[in-house]
């Protein structure tokens, strides 16, 4: 069985789309980060590399991406106004949008800090 986090040499992360997003997130346990991205977004490519580093530091976490161009329904649902955008979930529950520098240590720190707060209602 292949570990999904061993894709760290790859430029991609496991993806979610409008058809599997909600059931897969609902079944997740632990910390999950979801990045909304676009294939032609340079900042998204950089953040994707940073998120691979986050996974090396926090191997128990899960990270997924949503292609904003392919899944505008999710973009509208989560009120995504800029790319890339990261949303934090814990045990299938929405916590918040993460707003932090695109550096592994700051993402880990912001995630841990956000998890000390109660879950919120998703947008």
Which tens digits make up the pLDDT trace of 24-49?
999 999 999 999 999 999 999 999 99
95 domain residue, yes or no = yes
Q: What is the pTM of this model?
A: 0.89
> Residues 106, 107, 112, CA angle at the centre, nearest 5°?
100
Q: Which CATH number do you get for residue 35?
A: 3.40.30.10
- Name the domain count of the chain: 1
Which tens digits make up the pLDDT trace of 79-101?
999 999 999 999 999 999 999 99
Q: Are strands 93-98 and 62-67 parallel, antiparallel or unpaired?
A: unpaired
37 domain residue, yes or no = yes
56 domain residue, yes or no = yes
């Amino acid at each position: 069985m292949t570990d999904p986090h061993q894709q760290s040499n790859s430029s991609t992360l496991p993806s979610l789309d409008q058809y599997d997003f909600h059931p897969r997130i609902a079944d997740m346990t632990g910390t999950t980060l979801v990045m909304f991205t676009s294939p032609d977004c340079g900042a998204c490519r950089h953040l994707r590399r940073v998120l691979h580093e986050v996974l090396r530091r926090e191997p128990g976490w899960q990270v997924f991406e949503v292609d904003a161009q392919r899944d505008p329904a999710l973009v509208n649902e989560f009120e995504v106004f800029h790319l890339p955008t990261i949303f934090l979930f814990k045990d299938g529950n929405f916590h918040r949008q993460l707003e932090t520098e695109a550096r592994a240590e700051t993402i880990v720190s912001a995630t841990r800090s956000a998890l000390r707060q109660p879950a919120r209602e998703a947008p």
